[in-house]
Amino acid sequence: MGYEEELQSEREYVAGLYARLDSERARVKAAYQAALGGTGETVMERDNEVRARHREMKRLNVADYGLCFGRLDSVDGVTSYIGRIGLFDEENEFEPVLLDWRAPAARPFYTATGAQPEGMSRRRQFHTRRRAIVDFTDEVFGKLGEEHGDAALLAALNAPRGEGMRDIVATIQAEQDAIIRLDHPGVVVIEGGPGTGKTVVALHRVAYLMYTQRERMERHGVLVVGPNPAFLNHIGRVLPSLGESDVVFTTTGGLLPGLSATAEDAPDVARLKGSLKMVEVLKSAVADRQRLPSSPIPITMKDVVVEITADVAEWARQEARDSGLPHNEARKVFVEIVTYVLTERAIGRIGKGWLSRSDRESWEDMRSGLIKDLADDEAFTLALDELWPVLTPEWLLGSLYSSPERLAAAGGDPSLHRADGEAWTVSDVPLLDELHELLGRDKRAEEAAAKAEAEARRAEARYASEVLDSLVSRQDHMDDEDHLFATDLLFAEDLAERFEEYDTRSLVERASADRGWTYRHVVVDEAQELSEMDWRVLMRRCPGRSFTVVGDLAQRRSPAGASSWGEMLDPYVPGRWEYRSLTVNYRTPAEIMAVAAQVLAEFAPDVRAPESVRANGVQPWARQLSPEELPAAIEEFVLAEAEEEGTSVVIGPPGVPGTVPASETKGLEYDSVLVVAPERILADGPRGAAELYVALTRATQRLGVLHHEPLPDALTGLKKV
């Protein structure tokens, strides 16, 4: 059969797959609508059914384009088509007509080579546009042919960048596939230089885990932590495009519900806050609020005055601390001890001469009455709030920062002082999270909130009941011309029923709103920037210690970040983390990478730059300008790039109009990049060198540099224009 005949045959087969996909969609949509209008089940059962059908619809919808991207032929004559999702024959539900790319049988599509064909005779890759096959390329094992993936891979790499990261499901390379399918239950560290695809490999690894561990993953979901909102927006389409939606995306500054911090501290302050030494500072700050009275506090009970003395408070404080409970929850122990001592002393004075301890019933009756009196005694409540107050993380940390005296008492560095204690930064988030653990819950506030919520539910239920009553009443008094549809009554019944105790939010909504939510798996990108305190937070979020950690130590800019993976991970998962590296640069052309490698050699001579998989023949350039000429040159670049297909960015040091700092472009990629004032970026020491390295490696096609001062030595090889 000739090429054209084979092409037509493949087009017909893929058209049949789309027909099967459309049939499945229609079936699932009908089931979804039936679930929405279902009757007879409980609210919980109906909502679970609706959610399940909705997930299935989303899984089918992601495959509208690029459904099938290849075919495998085995030496035994078995042909398998590989695609974004799996589909089965309509007549035989056990006969696959399309293999999911994550299925074990699909693995040779990514890993078979001429030297190790894995039982395959041919690999065919389709080039598709929307629902149609444009053409295909073959690799016949055992014969001279293209290296696997070159044609499809280079086409993908040379294509203009869109608004977000694309999945690589059709062009996964063997070294990437080995990491994606790695069978390791603990922490997997993926390190690679710029352009090696470590982020997209990590996301595909999540999709693989969610496919192979569906039930476990769906109950708790996955957390993805990235360096900034722009990066999260950039990668946000990848997992949904692979049919996975039970994923929460956030930055370290967004790990506390209701608080989003984006400001950064000065490097020295960030380093201090990121150290585990801050745990002891916070513990001391909490202990500092557990006070003893400077003089006895008088409390009147039944016309008898008793006192909370220092020795009573000290006994109560020690018992509360020894309970092991968080501060707010240990308050109950403190109150119980103080209450016991005061009531004992009061009873002894009130019953002097007529009440003996042997009369336990009368003694306890009197104690019960005194306890009730104390609960309503304003002086007693004020005393407790002074000696063992209910604390919130925000109030405690804010008051610690704003008071040099309290900082000193807690053993904190004086540089942590600031006038506005609650001007939160990214480095404050793990400290606030630690305080949530140290303080525990404020049960009084929770009880008040629960009471208000219960009242709101009762009001809503009354409204629903009134709707139902009015419809029933209307039915009883209808004229013959009036019409009352059964769906009206069903709606009212459903409305009333839905006020049962059941959370109908999606997993992502519930997890995002719950600080105590724990995830089945966590992905940490740009992980070299995370501090010891950041890791402490993330380990709480995943008790099973199942992580995919992505980073490049050579690109670290945070003074509180990692200098080695072991220093961050060994305290939590000793012997349970696996290291993998990616060495091929799929993003940056060789011409640009040669320039970036010179910068890398200056500040990290022991680190080898990743090897670019392609060259594009476009030389990066540099132009020297006066400060007055700079704005016009930047505008010229922006206008010229607006005429080109693809994306562009201007990166520069802080304070240069029209530029963004390199830190905001980490993990992102653009067709064209203009770097402004590299000499000023580089002037910020090792941190500046890492910033410049990041800036130079964002481009996939073109790189230009504008400078005023002489170029740094590492950039003198740029073409002068």
- Answer for the pair 662, 695: CB distance below 8 angstroms, yes or no: yes
Count other C-beta atoms under 10 Å from residue 658's C-beta: 15
Confidence of residue 486 (pLDDT cuts 50, 70, 90): very low
Sheet holding 132-140, edge to edge: 87-88, 96-100, 79-83, 68-74, 120-129, 132-140
What's the Cα-to-Cα distance from 356 to each of 169, 335, 351, 464, rounded to whole Å?
83, 25, 8, 59
Return d(Cα 117, Cα 123) in angstroms, integer: 10
The per-residue pLDDT for range 503-516, each reduced to its tens digit, is 668 889 999 999 99
Return d(Cα 61, Cα 44) in angstroms, integer: 26
Q: Is 194 annotated as a binding residue?
A: yes
For residue 553, the one-letter residue type is: L
Of 268, 468, 690, 402, nearest to 410 by C-alpha is 402
Q: Which residue's entry shows tokens 């609650």?
A: 422
Q: Is 199 annotated as a binding residue?
A: yes
Q: What is the pLDDT of residue 30?
A: 87
Both tokens of 463, joined, read 């409204």
Return d(Cα 521, Cα 575) in angstroms, integer: 18
Mean pLDDT of 358-379: 80
**DSSP structural state of residue 86:** -
Q: What is the pLDDT of residue 144?
A: 42
Return d(Cα 586, Cα 583) in angstroms, integer: 10
Confidence of residue 618 (pLDDT cuts 50, 70, 90): very high
Q: Is 652 annotated as a binding residue?
A: no
pTM of the full predicted structure?
A: 0.83
Count other C-beta atoms under 10 Å from residue 158's C-beta: 12
Of 548, 540, 622, 660, nearest to 176 by C-alpha is 548
* Phi, psi torsion values for 396, nearest 5 degrees: -65, -45
Mean pLDDT of 333-354: 84
Distance between the two ends of the chain, CA-based, in angstroms? 54
**DSSP structural state of residue 254:** G
Burial of 487 (0-12, 13-18, 19+ CB in 10 A): exposed
Mean pLDDT of 554-561: 90
Tell whether the model's pLDDT for residue 360 goes beyond 70: no
How do strand 120-129 and strand 68-74 relate by DSSP bridges?
A: antiparallel
Q: What is the pLDDT of residue 495?
A: 53
Tell whether the model's pLDDT for residue 91 goes beyond 90: no
- Answer for the pair 101, 86: CB distance below 8 angstroms, yes or no: no
Mean pLDDT of 252-266: 92
Q: Is 70 annotated as a binding residue?
A: no
Of 529, 721, 562, nearest to 637 by C-alpha is 721
Return d(Cα 219, Cα 217) in angstroms, integer: 6
39/13: higher pLDDT: 13
Angle between helices 327-350 and 378-387 (to 10 degrees): 140
Helix, coil or strand: residue 696? helix
The per-residue pLDDT for range 426-478, each reduced to its tens digit, is 999 999 999 999 999 876 655 665 566 667 666 666 665 665 566 555 555 55
Of 389, 356, 368, nearest to 301 by C-alpha is 368
Q: What is the pLDDT of residue 150?
A: 59
Return d(Cα 441, Cα 122) in angstroms, integer: 62
Return d(Cα 170, Cα 156) in angstroms, integer: 9
Name, in order, each residue with C-beta under 8 angstroms of 398's C-beta and a sequence gap of 6 or more.
421, 422
Mean pLDDT of 259-275: 93
Return d(Cα 285, Cα 403) in angstroms, integer: 11
Confidence of residue 348 (pLDDT cuts 50, 70, 90): confident
Please list the alpha-helical segments (H only) found in 37-141: 43-61, 108-111
Name, in order, each residue with C-beta under 8 angstroms of 20's C-beta and a sequence gap of 6 or more.
87, 89, 90, 97, 98
Please tell me the total number of residues recorded for the chain in this structure: 721
Mean pLDDT of 28-32: 86
**DSSP structural state of residue 552:** -
Of 323, 277, 318, 274, nearest to 440 by C-alpha is 323
**DSSP structural state of residue 548:** E
Max Cα-Cα span within the chain: 116
Of 285, 305, 289, nearest to 297 by C-alpha is 305
Of 249, 182, 209, nearest to 582 by C-alpha is 182
Name, in order, each residue with C-beta under 8 angstroms of 641's C-beta and a sequence gap of 6 or more.
648, 671, 672
For residue 439, the one-letter residue type is: L
Our CA angle for 66, 71, 73, nearest 5°, is 175
- Answer for the pair 323, 333: CB distance below 8 angstroms, yes or no: yes
Q: Is 198 annotated as a binding residue?
A: yes
Please list the alpha-helical segments (H only) found in 477-506: 486-497
The per-residue pLDDT for range 647-684, each reduced to its tens digit, is 999 999 988 999 999 988 988 899 999 999 999 999 88
Mean pLDDT of 689-714: 93
**SS3 letters for 658-694?**
CCECHHHHCCCCEEEEEEECHHHHHCCHHHHHHHHHH
Q: Considering just the CA atoms, what is the radius of gyration of the chain in Å?
A: 33
Return d(Cα 296, Cα 309) in angstroms, integer: 5
Name, in order, each residue with C-beta under 8 angstroms of 86's C-beta and a sequence gap of 6 or more.
96, 98, 99, 100, 103
For residue 396, the one-letter residue type is: L
Helix, coil or strand: residue 563? coil
Confidence of residue 44 (pLDDT cuts 50, 70, 90): low
What's the Cα-to-Cα distance from 1 to each of 7, 8, 139, rounded to whole Å?
10, 11, 17
Q: What is the pLDDT of residue 540?
A: 97
Count other C-beta atoms under 10 Å from residue 437's C-beta: 16
Most confident of 16-25, 163-172, 283-292: 283-292
Tell whether the model's pLDDT for residue 122 goes beyond 80: yes
Our CA angle for 234, 159, 193, nearest 5°, is 55
Q: Which residue's entry shows tokens 């800036």?
A: 695
Q: What is the pLDDT of residue 172?
A: 84
Mean pLDDT of 303-330: 95
- Percentage of the chain beyond pLDDT 70 is 85
Both tokens of 430, joined, read 């793990």
Of 68, 132, 77, nearest to 100 by C-alpha is 68
Q: What is the pLDDT of residue 575?
A: 87
Q: What is the pLDDT of residue 484?
A: 45
Mean pLDDT of 316-336: 97
Count other C-beta atoms under 10 Å from residue 652's C-beta: 23
Q: What is the pLDDT of residue 55?
A: 77
For residue 78, the one-letter residue type is: V
Mean pLDDT of 213-237: 89
Q: Is 192 annotated as a binding residue?
A: yes
Confidence of residue 595 (pLDDT cuts 50, 70, 90): very high
